[in-house]
Amino acid sequence: MQLGLVGLGKMGGNMRERIRRAGHTVVGYDRNPELSDAGSLSELVDKLQAPRTVWVMVPAGAPTQSVIDELAELLAPGDTVVDGGNSRWTEDERHAAELLAQGIGFVDAGVSGGVWGLENGYALMVGGDAEHIARVRPIFDALKPEGPYGYVHAGKVGAGHFSKMVHNGIEYAMMQAYAEGWELLEKVDSVTDVREVFRSWREGTVIRSWLLDLAVGALDQDEHLDKVRGFAQDSGEGRWTVEAAIDHAVPLPAITASLFARFASRQNESPQMKMIAQLRNQFGGHAVENTDGVGDHAD
Amino acid sequence: MQLGLVGLGKMGGNMRERIRRAGHTVVGYDRNPELSDAGSLSELVDKLQAPRTVWVMVPAGAPTQSVIDELAELLAPGDTVVDGGNSRWTEDERHAAELLAQGIGFVDAGVSGGVWGLENGYALMVGGDAEHIARVRPIFDALKPEGPYGYVHAGKVGAGHFSKMVHNGIEYAMMQAYAEGWELLEKVDSVTDVREVFRSWREGTVIRSWLLDLAVGALDQDEHLDKVRGFAQDSGEGRWTVEAAIDHAVPLPAITASLFARFASRQNESPQMKMIAQLRNQFGGHAVENTDGVGDHAD
Amino acid sequence: MQLGLVGLGKMGGNMRERIRRAGHTVVGYDRNPELSDAGSLSELVDKLQAPRTVWVMVPAGAPTQSVIDELAELLAPGDTVVDGGNSRWTEDERHAAELLAQGIGFVDAGVSGGVWGLENGYALMVGGDAEHIARVRPIFDALKPEGPYGYVHAGKVGAGHFSKMVHNGIEYAMMQAYAEGWELLEKVDSVTDVREVFRSWREGTVIRSWLLDLAVGALDQDEHLDKVRGFAQDSGEGRWTVEAAIDHAVPLPAITASLFARFASRQNESPQMKMIAQLRNQFGGHAVENTDGVGDHAD
Amino acid sequence: MQLGLVGLGKMGGNMRERIRRAGHTVVGYDRNPELSDAGSLSELVDKLQAPRTVWVMVPAGAPTQSVIDELAELLAPGDTVVDGGNSRWTEDERHAAELLAQGIGFVDAGVSGGVWGLENGYALMVGGDAEHIARVRPIFDALKPEGPYGYVHAGKVGAGHFSKMVHNGIEYAMMQAYAEGWELLEKVDSVTDVREVFRSWREGTVIRSWLLDLAVGALDQDEHLDKVRGFAQDSGEGRWTVEAAIDHAVPLPAITASLFARFASRQNESPQMKMIAQLRNQFGGHAVENTDGVGDHAD
């Protein structure tokens, strides 16, 4: 089938390639003309035969909103828009309503796969009406991994992004789990080869996983991770997961701890620890370490 | 080779079977005569030719100590004892010294595999002198999974149990990660099929793992887990992991959160939440729910 | 001066009393005619001389919005509205803009004091323009405690509610701190009189506080808190505090842990712990406790 | 009465002064001859009339053990030893037994007061037999604050140190609570005077406390805490509190979070965050920040 694909960055570019390999026709559009198959969104729409399917793969927030606003004007009743970006699930209902007013279908698709998706396939979690999803199904089949897994119609509009968001929340805590274990093993004198301990866990253990395989890969490149800074970004979906949990009064201690550990890692100086240090000094005369490097005692 | 195996419970019994399948001779001893190949520890030792190797697979603490004490008397210089139970790593050095005084070697082995080990093999993390480990190597080879992983000489005496303990700590947080995500998905109306979301994650996602496969298996038996109580035991190794981290000033927020969630799950009434409820009543006149079911307002 | 006061519930009623004791005139309005001094909002406005000051003390969200909408129509340029309820700070700018369009000033006031405020005074954190705040200052002076503390102009519109929200977040973690300590002391055999330990802390310690005094009061009524259920509500401001922290990438581990402990306390069964229990059963054959009370082993 | 006091550092020196002001005779001993009233422990014992009371105020662990060992030899039946240092409660029973074997009584005393104790009095939590405590009571009365609070006989031997330890655990979480709130307020543009918000909280709020007063004092010296590093030590008692909770399966999320935040603050680079950063790079091609300052992309 034909697909319009908006956004040809790291993810979108590889997805175009994988869809084409499956025999479909992809007309891609990107603001970067070197990547783009069409000179404009309008031209992309013109190149597709009705009923059209357009997959939006641009950053969440204003960029996605802007593309959807344009598509609402350019497309026709019976067409379908897929938002495959990292939009917050709370946006999906609004987007669906905006498009539905023009008779255009909407599907939200959470996409996992990163740099490995081109070869291994992308896991897809989609939300929306069965009728709209059916229109896109051949593309989903092209993108997903081989085998019985890697694709789910998770529920109503928003369920795809919500499921992907929770996937990322779980990912945060799993990464934190391995990271905590690794740091502890590195601290202990009796364990002389932490990397080999990690490697051994790849089979026969309860904690074997793809992330563990990646951890071993990272240690093979840099055994003690001396070459990177202990500084971890977050992409937004961890934050949304915690906020969704708060809305539903679900305790999420491990995922939230993982998010906060990243926040803390990005602070050169922890303001809250300055307050702790000063309070200790106030009541106990405990030394604080001044920014000029000279200790100070209250007494 | 010949192996003496002390403790033929759920784990030990299956291990005897797997070792025998690999062509080795196992003389097992258990207090339960129906399981035992020898009438006593002393008879087990008599049935083995020197240099002997005896694998201890009994509960940590007093039972393991008692077997090691007996073996220190029964065995001879050049023999080797393996502690494959869940002993705390802090016990290992003491056990090694006690046996070394008799010329007996000591190896600590953390064993992972549970009910799946008989067929899939047991992951092994071992600590001790290379010389002592070499004596046991054929048994390790029989127990471990096929393929390049699942066995590691982690370091000095204690390193095997320490590595296994950290493995379990990581396991706690990974399980907590999936459990938090599952609860959140179950709370949201738009996601209509949480089990299928979990199943889809088995391929192409960042969070695919053996534990995820097990989670899907559990949901296949009982889609909303209505048949079990929300009550989780802990085996001790999670506690030790947190204590080891405290000793080394390593922050372990996700693993500790996972341990505390289990503690809380086992309380019918949370004492600390009683205090919170009463404090809210004291300062704000907020209602508390009395054990007699009648609300009480301060004002 | 004259004040219109909308909302005469537990808080509003006591505040009216305290303001009147200070010699001001209060015209109160409440939907409950037994409490109300005016038959309608419109009548309340008519009873005040311009420039009028109206204090809104109704539940956050729709009730506050509705009162502000009405006041925007009823009041005149030069009048001032104070929102003293528990509105989320994110509402304040919108309310201020809506009123400003009619020439009406707006001040947000976070109010602390609960059932003790009538006698001891209410702590006030206010946000808005100095000019608008000046109009209300006599009322603030009547409400606040005697002495130099208990009142602050915290900043721009929204700063009052934001400061009060953070106050409540801190309150959550302080209550949790005492509650955790109390539960631990109650668990230990050697400490034979936990209540007297708490009482002794009221002087000379680092942790003496008003909340500690209240905790002792609660224990004096019910030494082991046997009469209440371990079940703690949350009022919303703890949730907003965590969400604000997430927006600003500030780690808030203690406050968030306190919020999550309350969430967990309100679950009869923890769904996430059901998943943990089932996973343990899947890989280790650990017993789970079925809802029919019969243990189940995988092996 | 007469008291022997061993250890005349910051705490011990001030305590000697306060006890003397109450009219008692103190013979102090310190390894520093400039502070000491006696040339040796033996001389200190000789200077006291039987039945003697000796208060030990030296660092926990080996120093306290060594003094108690010496006193067990130097003292006589009917004498009493008080351990007022920060010993772990698990040491107390052993010390009591060692001394009891010589007919010497033992009391453990947790002491709070820091640099403020000389003027305001020291809060005391004591454990041991009523008979032994009665012998020391005049000294306790001299040290404690005026008024009805600040002293408790908490229970059996060990209960004093246990109660003080929990006091410190609570202190950790209270300090963390204020510190988290302060950092959040400092991040928000609308709140223009965070110090004055803190100051206002000193009266009429739920969170008023002595620690809050100290926080305001710290901010008055250094409004944004620019002069100190965000680096917080821990004294050991927070760690013991968490370990005691783990022993008793009591969840302690806020206190533990506070301890871990201190651990993290002392790491220039977080090893676990290096692992997180590398894992993100492995699966997503997310940039990591290299130690040479140059970004690295996987793709």
Task: For residue D192, give the chain C residue with the closest CA.
Answer: C155
> Hey, is C31 helix, strand or coil?
coil
Over 90: is that where the pLDDT of D287 sits?
Answer: no
DSSP label at C145? P
**Radius of gyration from C-alpha coordinates of chain D:** 24
pLDDT digit string, tens, across residues B184-224: 999 999 999 999 999 999 999 999 999 999 999 999 999 99
- Model confidence at C101: pLDDT above 80: yes
Mean pLDDT of D42-63: 97
Distance between CA D278 and CA D96 in Å, rounded?
Answer: 52
Please choose, from the candidates B16, B8, B11, the residue with its C-alpha nearest in 3D space to the C-alpha of residue B235.
B11
Q: Which residues of chain B have pLDDT under 70?
A: 287-299
**What is the distance between the alpha carbons of residues A292 and D232, in angstroms, rounded to a whole number?**
16
Q: Which of C148, C191, C208 sits opposite D154 (nearest CB)?
A: C191
The two tokens of residue A79 are 């067409």
**In 10 A of CB D222, how many CB atoms?**
13
Whether residue C40 is predicted with pLDDT greater than 70 in this model: the reply is yes
So what's the pLDDT on residue C114? 81
Q: Which of B47, B164, B196, B227 is catalytic?
A: B164
Task: Supply the mean pLDDT for chain C.
Answer: 94
Put simply, the answer to whether B261 touches C273 (Cβ < 8 Å) is: yes
Find out whether A205 and B169 touch, Cβ atoms under 8 Å: no
Give Rg (Cα) of chain A.
24
Per-residue b or e along D103-129, where b marks 16 or more CB atoms closer than 10 Å to that residue's CB: ebbbbbbbbbbbbbbbebbbbbbbbbb
> What is the secondary structure of C62-75 as a DSSP string?
HHHHHHHHHHHHH-
Q: Distance between CA C17 and CA A280 in Å, rounded?
A: 42
pLDDT band with cut points at 50, 70 and 90 for residue A289? low
Catalytic option among B131, B171, B196, B223: B171
Most C CBs within 10 Å, among A263, A267, A270, A283, to test the C interface: A263
C-alpha pair distances (Å), B251 with each of C252, C263, D232: 15, 24, 13
DSSP class of residue B229? -
Q: Which residues pair with D54 in a beta bridge?
A: D4, D81
**What is the pLDDT at residue A294?**
33
| Torsion sign over Cα C112, C113, C118, C122 | negative
Q: Which of C164, C196, C223, C243 is labelled catalytic?
A: C164
D90-115 residue pLDDT tens? 999 999 999 999 999 999 999 998 88
Number of C-beta neighbours around residue A189 at 10 A = 9
CB C142, CB C24: distance < 8 Å: yes
Residue B288, CA distances (Å) to A286, B41, C221 in order: 41, 60, 14
Q: Cβ contact (<8 Å) for D208 and C208? A: no
CA-angle at D260, arms to D255 and D262, nearest 5°: 100
Helix, strand, coil share of chain B (percent; to 5): 50, 15, 35
Q: Do A280 and D233 touch (CB under 8 A)?
A: yes
- Picking from D63, D62, D54, the residue whose alpha carbon sits closest to that of residue D2 is D54
Distance in Å, alpha carbon of B219 to nearest chain C alpha carbon: 9
Which residue is listed with tokens 């999550």?
C260
Interface list for B 143-202 with C (CB within 8 A): 175-176, 178-180, 182-183, 186
Nearest C-alpha in B relative to A160 = B191
Please give the full DSSP string across D191-241, using - where no structure is assigned: B--HHHHHHHTTTTSTT-BHHHHHHHHHHHHSTT-TTB-S-----SHHHHH
**Alpha helix locations (H) across chain C?**
10-21, 41-47, 62-74, 89-100, 117-120, 130-143, 159-187, 194-200, 210-221, 237-247, 253-265, 271-284
**Residue C121, helix vs strand vs coil:** coil
Q: How far is A102 from chain D (nearest CA, A)?
A: 36
pLDDT-derived band at D297 (thresholds 50, 70, 90) equals very low
Contacts of D251 in chain C (CB under 8 A): 180, 261
Least Cα distance to C211 among B249, D210, D91 occurs for D210
A10, A225, A231 ranked by CB distance to D299: nearest: A10
**CB proximity D37 to A under 8 Å:** no
And the tokens for B23?
A: 């062509």
In this structure, is the dihedral angle defined by the CA atoms of residues C203, C204, C205 and C206, taken in order, positive or negative? positive
Whole-number average pLDDT of chain A: 94
Count of CB pairs separated by less than 8 Å, C with D = 289
Tell if the CB–CB gap between B170 and A162 is shorter than 8 Å: no
| Omega within 30 of 0 (cis) for the link into D51 | yes
In the DSSP assignment, the letter for residue B2 is: E
Peptide bond into C253 cis (omega under 30): no
Domain A164-291: which CATH number of 3.90.1300.10, 2.60.120.10, 1.20.210.10, 1.10.1040.10: 1.10.1040.10
Q: Are residues D199 and C149, on separate chains, in Cβ contact within 8 Å?
A: yes
What is the domain partition of chain C in residue ranges? 2-157, 164-291
Backbone angles phi, psi at A82, to 5 degrees: -110, 125
> Within an 8 Å CB–CB cutoff, is residue C254 touching chain B?
no
Q: How far is B71 from chain D (nearest CA, A)?
A: 30
Whole-model pTM?
0.95
Output the pLDDT for position D10: 87
Mutate to test the interface with C, among B272, B281, B290, B299 (most CBs of C within 10 A): B272
Bridge partners of residue C54, in order along the sequence: C4, C81
List phi, psi (to 5°) of B79: -75, 170
Chain B and chain C share a number of CB contacts under 8 A equal to 207
The tokens of A183 are what?
């740091």
Q: For position A284, what pLDDT does the model report?
A: 80
Shortest alpha-carbon distance between residue B83 and chain D (Å): 24
Of D206, D263, D272, the CB nearest to B283: D206
pLDDT given at position C291: 55
Q: pLDDT by residue (tens digit) across A107-126? A: 999 999 888 899 999 999 99
Nearest CA in chain B to C10: B299
Element (H, E) at B242: helix B237-247
Residue C73 to residue C93: CA distance in whole angstroms = 18
Q: Dump pLDDT digits (tens) for C89-98.
A: 999 999 999 9
pLDDT value of position A288: 62
Per-residue pLDDT tens digits for C164-217: 999 999 999 999 999 999 999 999 999 999 999 999 999 999 999 999 999 999
Q: Give the residue among B165, B180, A255, D138 at the shortest CA–CA distance from C246.
A: A255
3-state secondary structure chain A: CEEEEECCCHHHHHHHHHHHHCCCEEEEECCCCCCCCCCCHHHHHHHCCCCCEEEECCCCCHHHHHHHHHHHHHCCCCCEEEECCCCCHHHHHHHHHHHHCCCCEEEEEEEECHHHHHHHCCEEEEECCHHHHHHHHHHHHHHCCCCCCCEEEEECCCHHHHHHHHHHHHHHHHHHHHHHHHHHHHHCCCECCHHHHHHHCCCCCCCCEHHHHHHHHHHHHCCCCCCECCCCCCCCHHHHHHHHHHHCCCCCHHHHHHHHHHHHHCCCCCHHHHHHHHHHHHHHCCCEEECCCCEECCC
Mutate to test the interface with D, among A266, A272, A299 (most CBs of D within 10 A): A272
> Residue B132: phi, psi to the nearest 5?
-70, -40
- Tell me if residue C285 falls in helix, strand or coil: coil
Q: Do C114 and B273 touch (CB under 8 A)?
A: no
Mean pLDDT of D34-38: 96
Yes or no, beta carbons of D214 and A253 under 8 Å apart: no
Same fold, A2-157 and A164-291: no
Exposure class string for C172-187: b at 16+ Cβ within 10 A, else e: bbbbbbbbbbbbbbbb
Superfamily of domain B2-157: NAD(P)-binding Rossmann-like Domain (3.40.50.720)
Q: Which residue of D has its CA nearest to C124?
A: D200
Residue type at D187 in one-letter notation: K
Alpha-carbon distance A256 to C162, whole Å? 22
CB D88 within 8 A of CB D110: no
Instruction: Say whether B164 is catalytic.
Output: yes
Q: Do D279 and A176 touch (CB under 8 A)?
A: no
C292 band by pLDDT with thresholds 50, 70 and 90? very low
What is the pLDDT, as a whole number, of residue D204?
A: 96
Q: Express each pLDDT in D171-212 by its tens digit.
A: 999 999 999 999 999 999 999 999 999 999 999 999 999 999
Instruction: Residue B233: list chain C partners with CB under 8 A.
Output: 277, 280, 286
User: What ipTM is given for this predicted complex?
Assistant: 0.95
Mean pLDDT of C135-163: 98
Higher pLDDT, residue C77 or A284: C77
Among candidates A151, A177, A248 on the partner chain, residue whose Cβ is nearest the Cβ of B177: A177
Chain C contact present for A243, CB below 8 A: yes
Q: Are D253 and C257 within 8 A, CB to CB?
A: yes
Cβ distance A206 to B112 less than 8 Å, yes or no, reads yes
C171 is catalytic: yes
Which of B228, B231, B234, B296 is best to mutate for the C interface (most C CBs within 10 A)? B228
Task: Supply the DSSP symbol for D116.
Answer: G
